[in-house]
Chain A
Amino acid sequence: MNSFAEFLAMGGYGFYVWMSYGISTVVLLLNVVIPIIQKKQFLRELALKQKRAK
């Protein structure tokens, strides 16, 4: 492989290869990001509840 453009072209299969990698990346990222956000949100709500109870 000589150039970056050639690398991206993947011998004419660029669309299929990069769609596969792209979709996989998005799905795998969401799987980690969503629980981290959920955890933050939940702890914030729980802290509020505790403050109110006091």
Chain B
Amino acid sequence: MVGYVLKRLGLAILVALAVSMIAFLLLRLSGDPAIALAGEGARQADIELIRKTYGFDRPLPVQYVEWLGKTVRGDFGESVYFRSPAAPLIFSKLQTTMMLGVFALAFALFISVPLGVAAAVYRNSWIDRLCLALAVVGQALPNFFFALLLIMIFSIWLRWLPVSGSGTWQHFVMPTIALGYYAAPAFMRLIRAGMIEVLEADYIRTARAKGLPATQVIFKHALRNAVVPVVALAAVQLGFLLGGSVVVETIFALDGLGYLAYQSITFKDFPVMQNIVLLLSVIYVVLTLASDIANAWLDPRIRVA
């Protein structure tokens, strides 16, 4: 187990490094940060001054190594747009995004577990088809479009919820639904498949033969086993949801990391952009690692493989 964990850990670090390198290069290829910083109407001399001040005139590998070295030591640099240290800026927004991610995950599980179970129990019936349709819509509907539909229904027609902002719990309702619905289909399909397999197992037949009520058989005996792979997927999905919150946070003007990422992209705020990408990818890598280890701990066959 220790060897397995070490191997996965080494791999995770390599992935994080590769991501940081790609992110750094892609951001630099997207344009000259000095020109972006100088703004409309800046003279050539001003741009040169900015280029020198921020060190954009040095070779890319030098800039990369310096940035990574500082980041590892916890120095995230200074936001070139907000002109304040990037670390407090980023971490102050992380809480909102984490909350949104966890809420969205909870919402996704809340709808996908009953639907997945129903689809498996009533396999190939109209209920199964309906659940499948809901899953397909969830996956096919772009979340920005879904977000606008929610705004139209709950804010403009019914006036139940505020359109945008992050002051109260009501502000989180629509973003949670918009983000969570997108993640639900994957869980639903996994639960459905798991349930179908488990429901055909001998011990379920035994439980039924003992005369246990159907609800007890399904929720106590079958679901418990079918839900194991879902736990692993949940960790990975949480990473997706954190990264995927850029669009949702921007639409709902929710003051989180995704919104900050959008602002930093708009203003070519390289230090903030790079560190958000790195932070999100590290979170994702850590969650994937945790899920791998949890799986290996639950299922010894994975360790050996």
A and B: interacting chains? no
Binding site for A on B (CB under 8 A): none
Chain A residues with CB under 8 Å of chain B are: none
